[in-house]
């Protein structure tokens, strides 16, 4: 039934558009309004006409009654006059009738409108013969006035009857004397009050008579007249009202009435032209009518389609990105979670590639929204722990913290890695559809990780990576002990590899690494496993191999590499390696102990002059370890006795020679001596003490700044590799600065180029987090190779510190001047400040200024001290 009604309305609409040519909604509204006006007008006119006719009929009846009453009085008066005249005439007639003088003037009767006088006693007639018998008269003996045929008779005590012709009263009954003369009323004398349906009549009986005075008006005349007058009046009123209404509609109401539909049409057209994301249906925010409801439905539909479209676009885009960014999982992961934040309208997201072997995040990425909204780090840590505890391969944990909804997702990558993502959202939980899109994106990411074999292989050399080779070696150690087999390892390192990078560039350095890896693989057996242990370090795991065989293999590899001429483009490079050998039983019972022995042997090979293979005995290892433990204890004592202090070396603006900042350097006091960082930093890093030293230096520097009158423009802090590897250290440092109201924009964190390159993904994230808090970043020990410039693209840095080798005697070295000039130009173009270290002479200062270097530090401006330097040399 409902469907039939809708079809009928659709047909009406189709008729208006196709037959009547009315296609505009506004025209349809006007047509409907006009039809309503006409229908209302006709109905109102009809009702008004009926009312007016009834009122007029009632008025006519009242007027007829009033007129009849007046006429009755006039007739009665006239009859009384006639009666008096008749009495006079009868008296005269009776006197003369019995006398000799019989001359009677009958004209008196005529003048008195008397037709005849009849004597009912003596039965004679005075005047003309009466047309009525005495018998008939006797019937009306009780009436004073009698109407018979065409005569009106005055009964004078049943003795005399005066006959008067009815026409004598025509002037009284004439319609001209009535207020209803426009309707041509008819007044007559009748013996009965009979009326007619086609007439409007009123009657009244004449007193003491047998007749009535009746007044009538033709009803059709009244109805027709009233119809004409009412319709004409209604047309006039309707026309005026219609014109006024049409004017108001055209100039005012039309805009109000059609605004919603025009607004919706405009939005739909704009959406069609510009796309879903460029328009918002907001009519429902300003009203509650049907169009507002349509707007609300359209906006909800638009949002749903847009979210679906964004989801599909994100899936497609991540597919394309997956191909283009396979060598940079960090950037791919950052792109993915930033896109997810936008799609899900999330407050922020954090992604972790969790290493099960090392029990930490190998890759940790925070979305831009996460950093912008300053989400507490303890929340993500709490969610990561939840995901670690779950035994499901893939799991979703939905939680709530205050008004913040949290979705924690675990996705297995392989036996070694899991992918964690924590999404923070305010207002509402993630819907099923949103979780599906998230799962699709994470699946792409998992695929990319597996595609790169990051969990097992080094992408450059295609050897086992550090994690995989360590896991394999640990299993082989256990197998060797179970079956009483030999087991050995070789740890080798390319000598002076940094020099190769600095001289020929990192691209050339990568080629050297690949060729060295190929030589090692050529010299090893199929059962042996080779891995890239660090930047230029390799490890060879030798199952069922005694140390003597391992020494021979290491020597063979060393000799082959030293004799090989590495051809790289137009360059011919000779390189050497140093190696340390260790074996099960001789150097330890665990892989960790064996690896430590090999590492100490490698260190000894480097110390002895490089390009050699070393295997240490137990006594030598014990001595070295004892020295190291002494160094370790020295550091621990210095920390416990509060002898770790910050020193400050001034940094000068080369344009003004004003001190604009200081580099904070760690020092240890020992009696009257002050021990510089380079003498203890290696040991501090090896034994994990460096983080404590960093914390002390930062805390004491902040305390010193609080006592200073003014915080310098730049305070440089050196970051160790362990410090960078955990972003929570930066978070804690930020909290320390904020707690003490130290301006974060005055803080510059330094990392060496070598550390940055070896930990690209970690450093990228550390820089992003620091800069999101307002802290600046500097790249220290910036090298000289052409490929060094490419790392400026990788890191969002503010300051570059030139390696001292480029600064020393630069006034005498044209090549270095060209290189520094090129670096200065690139820095200017990218808005990066350039700082020169180890500046010691006025000649160096002059050249550096000419080349466009912004800042400088060195002994010429001041040595590191435990206080700020107030001035620099006046001669500069």
Q: What is the DSSP string of 637-704?
A: HHHHTT-EEEEEEEEEETTT--EEEEEEEEEEEETTEEEEGGGTHHHHHHTT-HHHHHHHHHHHHHHH
Q: Is the pLDDT of residue 875 over 60?
A: no
Is residue 455 a contact partner of residue 413, using CB atoms and an 8 Å limit? yes
Query: pLDDT higher for 66 or 437?
Result: 66
Q: Count of CB atoms within 10 A of residue 115's CB? A: 22
Of the candidates 653, 837, 871, 841, which has an alpha carbon nearest to the alpha carbon of residue 750? 837
To the nearest 10 degrees (0 to 180), the angle between helices 618-640 and 591-607 is 90
Q: Name which of 315-319, 476-480, 685-689 the model is least confident about.
A: 315-319
Tokens 């426009």, residue located? 182
In which band, very low, low, confident or very high, does the pLDDT at 692 lie, cut at 50, 70 and 90?
very high
Residue 179 confidence (pLDDT) above 70: yes
Report helix, strand or coil for 365: strand
Instruction: Please list, in sequence order, all residues whose beta carbon lies within 8 angstroms of the beta carbon of residue 809, skipping any fewer than 6 positions away.
Output: 844
Angle at 669 between CA 664 and CA 675, to 5 degrees: 70
Q: How confident is the model at residue 239 (pLDDT cuts 50, 70, 90)?
A: confident
Helices (H), 484-536: 497-504, 506-523
β-pairing, 114-119 vs 124-127, is: antiparallel
Cβ contact 467:354 at 8 Å = no
Class of the CATH domain delimited by 632-856 = alpha beta
183 burial class (0-12, 13-18, 19+ CB within 10 angstroms)? buried
Q: In the Cβ-directed half-sphere of 443, how many Cα atoms lie within 13 Å?
A: 10
What pLDDT score was predicted for residue 704?
93
Q: What's the number of CA atoms in the CB half-sphere (13 Å) around residue 272?
A: 6
Question: How far, CA to CA in Å, does 568 sit from each of 23, 493, 508, 515, 516?
Answer: 78, 20, 7, 10, 13
Please, what's the b/e burial string for 711-723 (b: 16 or more CB within 10 A of its CB; e: otherwise)? bbbbbbbbbbbeb
Element (H, E) at 358: none
* Per-chain mean pLDDT for the chain: 82
Average pLDDT for 717-721: 86
Cα(354)–Cα(616) distance, rounded to whole angstroms?
A: 36
Q: Any idea where the domains of the chain sit in the sequence?
A: 2-45+237-270, 47-223, 321-452, 466-616, 632-856
For position 414, what pLDDT does the model report? Answer: 76
Helix ranges (DSSP H) in 530-617: 547-563, 591-607
| Mean per-residue pLDDT, 676-703 | 88
Q: pTM of whole model > 0.75?
A: no
564 vs 276, residue with greater confidence: 564
Question: Which helix H or strand E contains 403, and what residues bound it?
Answer: none
Q: How far is CA 821 from CA 146, 631, 827, 842, in A?
A: 147, 42, 10, 18
Mean pLDDT lowest among 106-120, 275-289, 620-634: 275-289
Q: Which tokens sit at 44?
A: 């109102």
List C-alpha distances in Å: 225 to 197, 219, 220, 230, 283.
18, 10, 8, 8, 54
Helix (H) or strand (E) holding 385: helix 377-389
Highest-pLDDT range among 27-31, 175-179, 685-689 = 685-689
Minimum mean pLDDT range among 209-218, 242-251, 632-641, 792-801: 242-251
Dihedral sign of CA atoms 129, 132, 137, 140 in order = negative
pLDDT at 786 (0 to 100)? 39
pLDDT at 111 over 70: yes
**Could you tell me what percentage of the chain is helix, strand and coil, using 3-state DSSP and rounding each to the nearest 5?**
55, 20, 25
State the pLDDT at residue 476: 93
d(Cα 417, Cα 413) in Å, to the nearest integer?
5
What is the structure's pLDDT at 283? 65
536 is catalytic: yes
Q: Is the pLDDT of residue 228 over 80?
A: yes
Span 498-520, average pLDDT: 81
CA dihedral 368, 369, 371, 374 (to 10 degrees): 180
φ, ψ at 454 (rounded to 5°): -65, -25
Q: pLDDT at residue 295 above 90?
A: no
CB under 8 A, 24+ apart: contacts of 566-572: 566/511, 566/512, 566/515, 568/504, 568/508, 568/511, 568/512, 569/508, 571/504, 571/508
More confident of the two residues 252 and 516: 516
The pLDDT of residue 20:
65
| pLDDT score for 866 | 87
What does the pLDDT read at residue 727?
A: 77
Catalytic residue among 71, 347, 476, 536: 536
Q: What would the two tokens of residue 469 be?
A: 């080779």
Residue 6 confidence (pLDDT): 54
Handedness of CA 659, 662, 663, 669 (dihedral sign): positive
- Which residues touch 63 (CB under 8 Å, ≥6 apart)? 178, 179, 180
pLDDT of 165 strictly over 50: yes
Phi and psi, residue 348, nearest 5°: 165, 160
Q: Is the pLDDT of residue 651 over 70?
A: yes
Lowest mean pLDDT among 7-11, 40-44, 183-187, 468-472: 7-11
d(CA 733, CA 774): 12
Can you give the pLDDT at residue 177? 67
Structure-model confidence comparison of residues 29 and 549, the more confident one: 549
Percent of the chain residues past pLDDT 70, beyond the cut: 83
Please give the Cα distance from 633 to 618 (Å, whole number): 22
3-state secondary structure of 380: helix
Side-by-side strand order, sheet with 487-494: 529-532, 537-543, 487-494, 577-583, 613-614
List Cα–Cα distances, 596 to 368, 490, 547, 624, in angstroms.
41, 11, 15, 11
Report the candidate in 805, 798, 799 with the shortest Cα–Cα distance to residue 839. Answer: 805
CA distance 856 to 46: 103
Rounded mean pLDDT, 186-204: 85
Q: Give me the mean pLDDT over the 773-779 stretch.
A: 89
Length of the chain: 876
pLDDT of residue 785: 45
Strand partners, 400: 405
Task: Supply the CATH classification number for the domain 466-616.
Answer: 3.30.70.270
Fold type of domain 321-452: Beta-Lactamase (3.30.450)
Q: Which of 1-15, 29-43, 254-268, 790-804 has the least mean pLDDT?
A: 1-15
Alpha carbon 840 to chain centroid distance?
A: 57
Most distant CA pair in the chain, distance: 204
- Cα–Cα distance for residue pair 551/547, rounded to 1 Å: 6
* Two tokens, residue 665: 């350097």
Lowest-confidence segment of 130-134, 470-474, 786-790 by average pLDDT = 786-790
| pLDDT value at residue 305 | 62
Out of 105-109, 412-416, 685-689, 698-702, the most confident range is 698-702
In DSSP terms, 751 is beta-bridged to 779
Statement: residue 377 has pLDDT above 70: yes
In this model, does residue 618 exceed pLDDT 60? yes
Least confident of 49-58, 172-181, 359-368, 798-807: 172-181
| Residue 296: other Cβ atoms inside 10 A | 16
What is the rounded distance in angstroms from the CA atom of residue 111 to the CA atom of residue 114?
7
């Amino acid at each position: 039934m409902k469907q039939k009604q809708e079809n009928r309305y659709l047909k009406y609409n189709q008729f208006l558009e196709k037959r009547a040519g009315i296609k505009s909604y506004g025209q349809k509204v006007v047509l409907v309004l006009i039809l309503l006006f006409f229908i209302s007008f006709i109905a109102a006119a009809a009702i008004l006409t009926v009312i007016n006719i009834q009122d007029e009929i009632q008025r006519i009846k009242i007027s007829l009654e009033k007129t009849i009453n007046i006429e009755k009085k006039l007739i009665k008066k006239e009859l009384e006059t006639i009666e008096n005249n008749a009495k006079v005439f009868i008296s005269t007639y009776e006197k003369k009738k019995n006398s000799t003088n019989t001359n009677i003037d009958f004209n008196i009767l005529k003048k008195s409108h008397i037709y005849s006088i009849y004597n009912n006693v003596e039965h004679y007639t005075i005047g003309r013969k009466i047309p009525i018998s005495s018998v008939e008269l006797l019937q009306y003996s009780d009436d004073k006035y009698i109407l018979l045929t065409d005569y009106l008779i005055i009964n004078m005590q049943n003795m005399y009857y005066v006959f008067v012709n009815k026409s004598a009263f025509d002037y009284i009954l004439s319609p001209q004397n009535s207020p209803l003369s426009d309707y041509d009323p008819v007044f007559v004398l009748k013996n009965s009050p009979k009326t007619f349906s086609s007439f409007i009549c009123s009657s009244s009986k004449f007193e003491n008579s047998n007749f009535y005075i009746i007044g009538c008006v033709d009803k059709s005349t009244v109805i027709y007249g009233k119809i004409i007058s009412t319709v004409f009046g209604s047309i006039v009123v309707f026309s005026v009202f219609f014109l006024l209404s049409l004017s108001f509609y055209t100039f005012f109401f039309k805009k109000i009435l059609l605004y919603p539909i025009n607004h919706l049409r405009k939005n739909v057209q704009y959406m069609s032209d510009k796309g879903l994301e460029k328009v918002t249906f907001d009519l429902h925010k300003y009203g509650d009518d049907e169009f507002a409801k349509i707007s609300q439905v359209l906006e909800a539909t638009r949002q749903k389609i847009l979210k679906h479209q964004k989801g599909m676009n994100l899936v497609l885009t991540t597919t394309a990105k997956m191909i283009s960014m396979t060598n940079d999982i960090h950037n791919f992961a950052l792109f993915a979670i930033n896109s997810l934040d936008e799609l899900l309208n999330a407050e922020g997201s954090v992604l972790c590639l969790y290493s099960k072997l090392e029990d930490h995040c190998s890759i940790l990425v925070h979305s831009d929204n996460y950093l912008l909204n300053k989400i507490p780090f303890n929340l993500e840590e709490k969610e990561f722990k939840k995901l670690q505890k779950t035994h499901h391969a893939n799991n979703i944990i939905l939680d709530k913290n205050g008004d913040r909804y949290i979705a924690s997702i675990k996705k297995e990558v392989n036996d070694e890695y899991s992918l964690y993502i924590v999404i923070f959202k305010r207002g509402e939980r993630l819907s099923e559809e949103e979780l599906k899109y998230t799962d699709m994106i994470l699946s792409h990411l998992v695929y990319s990780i597996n595609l790169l074999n990051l969990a097992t292989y080094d992408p450059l050399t295609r050897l086992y990576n550090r994690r995989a080779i360590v896991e394999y070696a640990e299993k082989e150690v256990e197998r060797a002990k179970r079956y009483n087999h030999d087991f050995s390892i070789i740890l080798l390192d390319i000598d002076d590899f940094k020099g190769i990078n600095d001289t020929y560039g990192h691209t050339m350095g990568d080629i050297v690494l690949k060729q060295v890896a190929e030589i090692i693989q050529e010299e090893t057996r199929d059962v042996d496993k080779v891995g890239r242990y660090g930047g230029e370090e390799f490890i060879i795991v030798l199952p069922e191999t005694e140390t003597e065989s391992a020494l021979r293999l290491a020597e063979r590899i060393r000799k082959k590499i030293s004799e090989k001429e590495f051809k790289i483009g137009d360059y011919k490079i000779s390189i050497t390696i140093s190696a340390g050998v260790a074996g099960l039983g001789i150097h330890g019972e665990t892989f960790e102990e064996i690896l430590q022995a090999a590492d100490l042997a490698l260190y000894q090979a480097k110390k002895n002059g490089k390009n050699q293979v070393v295997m240490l005995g137990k006594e030598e290892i014990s001595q070295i370890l004892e020295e190291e433990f002494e160094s370790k204890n020295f550091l621990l004592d210095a920390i416990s006795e509060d002898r770790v202090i910050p020193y400050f070396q001034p940094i000068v603006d080369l344009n003004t020679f004003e001190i604009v900042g200081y580099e904070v350097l760690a020092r240890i006091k020992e009696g009257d001596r002050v021990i510089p960082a380079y003498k203890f930093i290696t040991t501090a890093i090896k034994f994990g003490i460096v983080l404590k030293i960093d914390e002390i230096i930062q805390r004491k520097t902040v305390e010193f700044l609080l006592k200073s009158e003014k915080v310098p423009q730049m305070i440089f802090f050196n970051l160790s590799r362990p410090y960078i590897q955990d972003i929570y250290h930066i978070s804690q440092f930020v909290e320390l600065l904020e707690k003490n109201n130290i301006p974060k924009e005055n803080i510059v964190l330094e990392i060496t180029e070598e550390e940055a390159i070896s930990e690209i993904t970690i450093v990228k994230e550390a820089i992003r987090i620091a800069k999101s808090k307002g802290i600046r970043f500097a790249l220290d020990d910036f090298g000289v190779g052409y490929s060094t410039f490419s790392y400026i693209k990788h890191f969002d840095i503010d300051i570059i510190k030139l390696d001292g080798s480029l600064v020393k005697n630069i006034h005498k070295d044209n090549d270095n001047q060209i290189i520094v000039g090129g670096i200065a130009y690139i820095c200017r173009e990218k808005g990066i400040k350039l700082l020169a270290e180890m500046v010691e002479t006025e000649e160096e200062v002059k050249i550096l200024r000419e080349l466009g270097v912004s800042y400088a530090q060195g002994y010429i401006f001041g040595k590191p001290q435990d206080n700020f330097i107030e001035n620099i040399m006046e001669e500069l």
